[in-house]
Structure 1
Amino acid sequence: MARSKAGRRDRSSSGPLPPGVERRRRLREERRRERLIQTWRTLLFGGVSTGLIWVLLTSGWSLRSQQQLRVRGSDRLGSDAVVKAAGLRFPRPLITLEPGRLERRLLAELPVESVSVQRRLVPPSLEVRLKDRRPIAAASRMGSRGMEQGMVDVAGHWMPLTVARQGEAPSSAVVVEGWIPSRRRMVARVLEQRDQLGSPLQVIQIAPDGDLSLRTETLGLVRLGSNERLLNQQLVTIALLSSSLPANLRGQASSGIDLSDPSKPELQLRPNSKPAMVNP
């Protein structure tokens, strides 16, 4: 009796499964196959993508030579100067070049007002746009080896003679004597306003202590001092004096005008004479 019951259980377990159970089993197997196929697709796509990126970075998107460097906007600086200033070595993957960092380095190393760097992927290249600094006045300064000759640009920056294009002369006849970094902005402001002074500006003098003086064709020597906040008012006063100072007190007739206090300009006639107040 027991054997007949066990035989019936074995026959029932080896027989076909109910329709609902069989369907669920097939669905589970199909889902497992789909997951396996999706996994292989992902791995294959990732491997191919990685390989393509590697090829592009190492072979396609890279600077292989200096010929892929395009320098625009400058008529004195070319790719040789940019490569040297930036310290570029070839070949070089484009992705490793940081435009912002490269711009800061070129701005510090080259005599330019502005720098713009862009990476081009098609075709692979590096575009560098430069804006040259132009000399506006001849200049001199005290260096480690004595007096140095150079130039300054419109922003008052010092320019060694070697950075200017061969044969390029300053755009004005003004001379800056004793240039120092701390007076750069004052020099730039005076150069900017030189045509509004009422008299041709000849010399900007900077004393070792930083005091600023100007020499104009009409007024001669004008002492301004070192207070940058007074400079605009002082330049306006110079223009007024240029048009109102009597002819016999102009130029060589006086040893200078003290405008360190622009509200009280003093005309110094001779070393032994008392200063005279001037009403602009």
Structure 2
Amino acid sequence: MDLTVEEAAAELNKGFQTLEILQKDPAVPVWFIYLNRPAQRNALSLPFFSELPRALALLDRIPSARALVLSARGPHFCSGIDLSSLKSISSSSDDDRAAAAEELRRRILDLQSAITALERCRKPVVAAIQGACIGGGVDLVAACDIRCCEDKAYFAVKEVDVGLVADLGTLQRLPKIVGFGNAMDLALTGRKVSAGEAKAMGLVSRVFADPAKMDEGIFALAKELAAKPALALMGTKAVMMKSRDMAVEKGLDYVATWNAGMLRSRELEEAVLAKLQKRKPNFSKM
């Protein structure tokens, strides 16, 4: 059942320790998800991994949320996973090594699922990145649909420097975004990548002069996305995600199946009529 904006706002402000969720302008169907631990440089604590999927599930059901922006409070986007959380995740009271390993594997899969919720969300998700985006922060933005940053932002896949293999999606998603060679370079060296280099390799698609200009530009971008036909956006995202991991022939078959159902939509009829009548289309809320 769809929620009203008032009900959604009430739900989305209940019990979040690590996030702030808001709609800046009630007239614009764009919602913002802010990482909200600025004093910890927005390090990802254990509550975050249950709160993010919950927030996305709520927003996915709300008609007034046609596009989402993932951003952060404070000067830095994300400094990675909280080290105290990492210690908690890896601890086990089981003396059986195999049982302890299976318990840890389940915990890692749960954390992975929380990040993957960004991809599973039907609405387009735009990442707005300022300052540091390190480790788990790269996992997060790699799962978003569009990535933008301000000029002083920087990125680093740092897990190798703390004795870890990055396990929340970076090693799987990054090669598809920046190419295998660039991803291998970043993952093995853990080096810092500037905004300019990130743009050159395709990690981000837009770089803004400063955080204020980024906020303005991201809002305009999300507003533009929100004005498009919702079913077409959802379908495009779904097909792109499927096609990323498929051979071309299978991807073509998948999109043919999708459009066989969706080409009869009222949104398509409205888009055609609006163009013929030279007016702004009036798309349904989803």
Structure 1 and Structure 2 fold alike (TM over 0.5): no
Whichever structure has more strand as a proportion of its residues is 1
- Higher radius of gyration, 1 or 2: 1
**Whose relative contact order is higher, 1 or 2, with alpha carbons under 8 Å and at least 6 apart?**
2
**Normalising by the residue count of structure 1, what TM-score does the alignment of the two structures yield?**
0.21
